[in-house]
Amino acid sequence: MPTTLTRWPIAKAALDAIREHPQVGGGVLVAPVFPGDNAQPETIWLDEITTTLEYPGSMGPDRKPRDEFSTLPFIIRVKNNADYDATRDRLEELLSAVEDVFASLVVSIFDKVPGLLEIDAADPVSDAQDTAEGAIGFARIELVCHSRLT
């Protein structure tokens, strides 16, 4: 079992897989944090990770195992398209690509991250709006993970 938190290897694997997806391609900025002023019209980033540690009951003198529960939220932003419908379509296309990546990752990540017990993608949430500067859309999808550490 691993002795360090597993959220970072999972986050790196997810970001790398998103970058390599053909629908994402070279025109989408994929960042490990919100890129601020460097954000592109189409950007995917990893938002703030939340983690809790629980110590399941064990009354021995040995080191107690820890359960790590992490939520890795990914944000997708699309703007500067011709109109609302084009923005919404592109947002759904990128969201679909990220869902495909997560579906593959959920199956393949167990070999790469020791101690990982469960990983699942939560249902995504998305919305688009017309603004004075044009249409803009956001989506959020989360990876929810459970690992056992020693």
Let me know: does 30 contact 13? Beta carbons within 8 Å: no
Neighbours of 70 (CB within 10 A): 22
- 28: which 2 tokens? 């989408």
Question: 107 lies in a domain?
Answer: yes
In a domain, residue 150? The reply is yes
User: Torsion angle of alpha carbons 25, 29, 33, 35, nearest 10°?
Assistant: 180
Cβ contact 69:145 at 8 Å: yes
Give the model confidence (pLDDT) of 4-22 as tens digits.
778 899 999 999 999 999 8
Q: Give tens-digit pLDDT for 110-147.
A: 888 888 899 999 999 999 998 888 899 999 999 999 98
* 74 assigned to some structural domain: no
Is 124 part of a structural domain of the chain?
A: no
Residue 139 lies in a domain: no
Residue 141 lies in a domain: no
* Report field, pTM of the whole predicted structure over 0.75: yes
Contact 29, 59 (CB under 8 A): no
Distance from C-alpha of 51 to C-alpha of 145, rounded to nearest angstrom: 9
The string of pLDDT tens digits covering residues 39-76 is: 999 999 999 999 998 877 665 666 677 888 999 999 99
Q: For the chain, what is the domain count?
A: 1
What domain range includes position 13?
A: 1-35+47-55+81-119+146-150
Question: Is residue 27, in this structure, part of any structural domain at all?
Answer: yes
Tell me whether residue 73 is in a domain: no
